[in-house]
Structure 1
Amino acid sequence: MTNLEESLRRELLRTNRSGAYSCSTIVDCNTRKYHGLLVVPVPELDDDNHVLLSSLDVTVVQHGAEFNLGLHKYQGNHYSPQGHKYIREFDCDKVPTTLYRVGGVLLKKEVVFQHYEDRILLRYTLVDAHSATTLRFRPFLAFRSVRQFTHENMNASRDYQLVDNGIKTCMYAGYPELYMQFSKENNFVFTPDWYRGIEYPKEQERGYASNEDLYVPGYFEMNIKKGESIIFAASTSEVRPGKLKSLFTQEVEERAPRDNFLHCLVNAAHQFHIRKKNDDRYLLSGYPWFKCRARDTFISLPGLTLAINEEDYFHLVMKTAMKGLYEFMENKPLTVDISEIEKPDVPLWAIWTVQQYSKDSGLEKTAAVYGKFVSDIVEYVISGKHPNLRLDENGLLYSNGRNEAITWMNSMANGCPVVPRSGYIVEFNALWYNALRYCAALAAVSGNEALVSDLEKRAELCKASFIDTFLNEYGYLLDYVDGNIMDWSVRPNMVFAVAFDYSPLDQKQKKGVLDVCTKELLTPKGLRSLSPKSGGYNPMYVGQQTQRDYAYHQGTAWPWLGGFYMEACLKLYKRTRLSFIERQMVGYEDEMNYHALGTISELFDGNPPFHGRGGMSFAMNVAEVLRTQKLLEKYTYQK
């Protein structure tokens, strides 16, 4: 904790169900513009999150001497104050808990984010002290979008009003009031000032502007006795101070422990849950800058719900996602907050999602609940109603991706896709073959023999054309084929044709594809997006935005792809690959103590030491590791 080179790399994320969050490093020094003690959506302004309360500095006062426990980085690599030097212990098994020692004073800080309110709660307990002790709390306010910075200005309102055991204030029109209250009576001293030149090194690394000024309206001061606990609450709504202690205790009791790998991932899975208007349920694609995206939702849903025995939430999210997909297919205005629902592979991933549900619930139950949805999607594709998904006479799906990114490899540079995947795209057609066969299985349960026959014929045509089009003489699959253009790059998208329950490949072909993935793409953090032997390999996701855009899918490693790779291994080799898969999983277990604690980053460098990059927590990665964990259990315990 006292070594900033180590501690500033580790972040801590706490969320609620509205999309609000609290995030910083484990020493409470903000290193990203996305960091903040209270970060909330403000739909009246835009669809971004906004940092209201950036941080809270606590000062211990004894015998007139002041010891500030805060930590901020200023320009010139200058840290002030240096409160991290007082940290003696840190633990986050249940809730993040920091123990500070200042001379004879032992002060414990615990943090929880309220589940269904935009409210952060901090409990300070004076564990030990040999003389009278005073605590001083100095709030740093930002009131800005997570994508911007704030600087000293004359428009910021300095007005505040006293409320029970605290104040409320709002720096700019359009923002909600920020309530800062304590469980104990205190004295607020109004000493408004701007703290100038606070710097965020993570933004520097990414080639962005990196400094801002934060407004401090004053400080709260109160005495504290040995053994006494004081609760601080920052929120967009007022709370009765007398409720704060019981509220904090209640929130702590509801927290799942993060005492092992699985519990960390389950906790991370819950952080993606979002509840919005009309009680619609969503899955956030990740933190800190992601929204709800359609493809991510369908790929993540089985791992984040079914793999941890939370079927109820699976149905709630499916209800919202199905509504959105039907609105898109029927060309109606979208009433759900899911982006990129128009991407051509989204309906096909929706079928894969339902397929995962049927593995536990059986085909009959699935046919009753989701059978019509699956057949409607297949009919929609066959009838050619999707604006960018054409079913050709050879049984394959064709999509135009020359001018826009239409697959999960979606990075753009200078207005064009970095990886312009177009034509017959390998995973689109693996998904289509799988969808045809699965829909036929559901139709068979329903007794619709005519539909079964039609779908089986289409699947056989698709299978023959798939092998003809994608399988090359070197034993792996072309990434896409568009007329005379054939992409020979070794990419991970071919692994889906091996991992899906219904594959157009025979056993020998599957093994050939998997061997190439193992030799050229496999890392301890998932599959590389491009083989080192292919042209344009760029495995390090660092530097300015354009540099990172060109590296995004050109060699970086993705854990969620590793999930499909491990599923393919288990399907092909059964129990003989169990120990190999278990060793692969260790690579993710290590991640629980790095980057954002207890979750998995968006992507990793494709070369050692495989540093985590991008977003601090990514839904598809957490989901696929959880789904693999469940598959491992299935193969371990089967007779």
Structure 2
Amino acid sequence: MSYLRFDKTIMTNLEETLTREILRTNRSGAYHCSTIVDCNTRKYHGLLVIPVPELDDENHVLLSSLDETVIQHGAEFNLGLHKYGGDNFSPRGHKYIREFECEKVPTTIYRVGGVVLKKEKLFVHHENRILIRYTLVDAHSETTLRLRPYLAFRSVRQYTHENAQASRHYDVVENGIKTCMYPGYPELYMQLSKENQFCFQPDWYRGIEYPKERERGYDFNEDLYVPGYFEISIKKGESVTFSGGVAPIETTSLNALFAAEMEQRTPRNNFKNCLINSAHQFLNKQDGESYILAGYPWFKCRARDMFISLPGLTLSIGEIGKFEMIMETALKAVYAFMEGKESHLKVTEIEHPDVLLWLVWAIQQYAKMVSWDEARVKYGKALKDVMDYLAGNHHPNLKVHENGLVYTNGRDKAVTWMNSTVNGRPVVARTGYIVEFNALWYNALCFVADLLSSDYGFVDYLHQFSDKVSKSFVQTFLNEYGYLLDYVDGDMMDWSVRPNMIFAAAFDYSPLDSKQKKGVVDIVTKELLTPKGLRSLSPKSGGYNPNYVGPQLQRDYAYHQGTAWPWLEGFYLEAYLRIYKRSAISFVERQLISYEDQMTCHCISSIPELFDGNPPFQGRGAVSFAMNVAEILRTLNLLEKYNNQ
């Protein structure tokens, strides 16, 4: 039985299925995302969602959905599903679903009378092309398949509505058509693997609703354009493949292409393989450069997320070459930033003050998991240049003070990972000496000094700072209750119990002694640990707001005020293993098991952005989040090493 399988009882229950989403990507910026019953519930959902750089830097929904109709003896059975106003669903094709499974590709089995139809979907790697293979598993008489495409041709941030400007023109191409609704967009080629008939029957389907957008306080309805439908005869045992892409394809190759692409997929037959499959979806190669997208469906490549995610998404699963490929692009962006040059690279937020320190941490993981010598050869110069840049106070918003600590101005602009803003102002205005920035700084100073130990002059230079930090860190952050202040700015001290202190206990190099680390881990365990990550704020601290729900403003205030974040737990479990060693293994295993149920809910086989901080710890935000997947994979790797000791 498939690890990711849902039977008829679940598939015919919309309360169960509309909360479960599926994501497939082409690893070059395009994706397909919907619910497991193919009813779009977000404006970000679609069969073919691609970047259109000629228009802007957003993704665009070209092909929203494709409705299938089975025709036998003149009777039509529509397998599609859309939500309209008043909680009306039409045509309610989900009632024909007998099962859905997703071991290699999303696969739906429909049964209509004596007809059994299998539908399989996949995205071609590094090509803007979605393939859907239909196989008639069983039928007792002549069967026709009708495919009706719903077109949007709009940004994921907008909606389309019936209008006179939309072009109805189409051209016939091999076994299909091509069409383009608006200037500036690429042509959409819709083709089938065998001869078919296209019936031009243009119409707008009005008032389609997206309930997830309504929940989030946004507009939630649009009209979609249907140019007509394809009809094709299909015989028992036969497979027919549909292609939706921005370039024509030799249709006789479609069935073979589908089979070849399917063989490349990682089977999602256990917890770890699900995460590996998800990890691959964040990798993004464009114009010869390699990136990591922070999450789906709306995030781009963010520098901090990229460096935090990189070791878990690549090294933890043995994909060293991918680490090196992405780091090559990342270092180009880093040097452009340090040299004050404009960059064409699609790496955002690289100016944030902790980003270069996370770069050092990522290379540190490479040294530990691959080779110190390799790290020295490949990245030694970059590390020296970065540390020179920071220690020399060249960063515009990270200054080294006399006490050795780094200082950041975060009063007017959110500069840490806790980056939610309201009316342009940070909700959590973390400023001054920020605890994880200084933990990162100390770790970077010590690691680079050890890696470049033969460069005596530079090592002595770094030790001047690290010696100061080791004393100043404890004096500044450790309070009388045994935990660390979140930030200190002059006489202002934030006593809130937040998870950012955990990094000082987790990093290889820490200014804390063993007893101090244990004190940090203990209070994090007591006040912040949940089955779905660390809370961003203790329930005992003022302003605790654990539920990430409602309109944008309400969610912005809750974003870092009690919600739980799985990626933080990766560092927590690393710290826990450091302190308790092999005796911690069973505890860490129990914590990781709590994520396995996520493989069959929210976005199946992935981890969402965050969770509510209180039971039942509902998944929220982006359906798939790189740092969360990465840190769980890195923790699994750490656990394996402890088990093998």
TM-score (norm: length of structure 2): 0.98
Secondary structure of 2:537 counterpart? coil
Distance 1:25 1:6 in 2: 10
Letter in 2 for 1:382: A
The equivalent residue for 2:151 is: 141
1:156-235 equivalences under 5 Å are 156-235=166-245
Aligned partner of 1:611 among 606, 618, 628 = 618
Q: What is the deviation of 1:116?
A: 1.9
Q: What is the deviation of 1:317?
A: 0.5
1:223-372 equivalences under 5 Å are 223-277=233-287, 279-372=288-381
The equivalent residue for 2:520 is: 513
Secondary structure of 1:175 counterpart? coil
Letter in 2 for 1:147: R
Q: What is the deviation of 1:402?
A: 0.2
Q: What is the deviation of 1:456?
A: 2.1
The equivalent residue for 1:82 is: 92
Distance 1:333 1:80 in 2: 50
Secondary structure of 1:223 counterpart? strand
Distance 2:83 2:150 in 1: 14
Task: Please list the CA deviations of residues 539-559 of structure 1 after superposition, one character each: whole Å capped at 9, or x if unmatched.
Answer: 000000000000000000000
Q: What is the deviation of 1:457?
A: 2.9
Secondary structure of 1:358 counterpart? helix
Task: Please list the CA deviations of residues 189-248 of structure 1 after superposition, one character each: whole Å capped at 9, or x if unmatched.
Answer: 111000000000000100000000000000111211111111100000000111111111
Q: Is the 8 A contact 2:116 2:138 kept in 1?
A: yes
Secondary structure of 2:474 counterpart? helix
Q: What is the deviation of 1:458?
A: 1.6
Distance 2:423 2:417 in 1: 18
The equivalent residue for 1:465 is: 472
Task: Please list the CA deviations of residues 345-390 of structure 1 after superposition, one character each: whole Å capped at 9, or x if unmatched.
Answer: 0010000001000002332221111111111111111111100011
Q: What is the deviation of 1:132?
A: 1.2
1:456 and 2:463 correspond: yes
Letter in 2 for 1:63: H
Distance 1:172 1:527 in 2: 46
The equivalent residue for 1:580 is: 587
Letter in 1 for 2:635: T
C-alpha RMSD of matched pairs (Å): 0.7
Q: What is the deviation of 1:18?
A: 1.3
Distance 1:410 1:210 in 2: 26
Distance 2:599 2:370 in 1: 32
1:460-609 equivalences under 5 Å are 460-609=467-616
Q: What is the deviation of 1:415?
A: 1.2
Query: Which stretch of structure 1 is more off in the superposition, 119-128 or 361-370?
Result: 361-370
Aligned partner of 1:382 among 384, 388, 391 = 391
Q: Which runs of 5+ in 1 are unaligned?
A: none
Distance 1:275 1:361 in 2: 23
Q: Is the 8 A contact 2:126 2:285 kept in 1?
A: no
The equivalent residue for 2:35 is: 25
Secondary structure of 1:256 counterpart? coil
Letter in 1 for 2:164: M
The equivalent residue for 1:123 is: 133
**Runs of 4+ with >3 A deviation:** none
Q: Is the 8 A contact 2:563 2:612 kept in 1?
A: yes
Letter in 1 for 2:443: N
Distance 2:302 2:391 in 1: 24
Distance 2:217 2:374 in 1: 52
Distance 1:126 1:378 in 2: 62
Task: Please list the CA deviations of residues 383-437 of structure 1 after superposition, one character each: whole Å capped at 9, or x if unmatched.
Answer: 1110001100010000000000000000000110000000000000000000110
Distance 1:450 1:71 in 2: 68
1:25-44 equivalences under 5 Å are 25-44=35-54
Letter in 1 for 2:113: G
Query: Which stretch of structure 1 is more off in the superposition, 447-456 or 213-222?
Result: 447-456
TM-score (norm: length of structure 1): 0.99
Q: What is the deviation of 1:485?
A: 0.7
Q: Which runs of 5+ in 2 are unaligned?
A: 1-10
Aligned partner of 1:415 among 402, 424, 429 = 424
Q: What is the deviation of 1:587?
A: 1.1
Distance 1:454 1:385 in 2: 16
Query: Which stretch of structure 1 is more off in the superposition, 365-374 or 469-478?
Result: 365-374
Distance 1:500 1:305 in 2: 19
Letter in 2 for 1:328: F
Count of residue pairs brought into register by the alignment? 635
Task: Please list the CA deviations of residues 135-155 of structure 1 after superposition, one character each: whole Å capped at 9, or x if unmatched.
Answer: 111000000000100000000
Task: Please list the CA deviations of residues 153-195 of structure 1 after superposition, one character each: whole Å capped at 9, or x if unmatched.
Answer: 0000000000000000000000000000001111111110000
Letter in 2 for 1:545: Q
Distance 1:603 1:303 in 2: 18
Distance 2:230 2:457 in 1: 75
Distance 2:193 2:312 in 1: 40
Query: Which stretch of structure 1 is more off in the superposition, 40-49 or 327-336?
Result: 327-336
Distance 1:595 1:25 in 2: 9
Secondary structure of 1:347 counterpart? helix
Distance 1:406 1:116 in 2: 33
Distance 2:460 2:172 in 1: 73
Secondary structure of 1:247 counterpart? helix
1:404 and 2:413 correspond: yes
Q: Percent identity, aligned pairs only?
A: 68
Letter in 2 for 1:581: V
Query: Which stretch of structure 1 is more off in the superposition, 572-581 or 330-339?
Result: 330-339
Distance 1:360 1:542 in 2: 39
Distance 1:74 1:498 in 2: 52
The equivalent residue for 1:12 is: 22
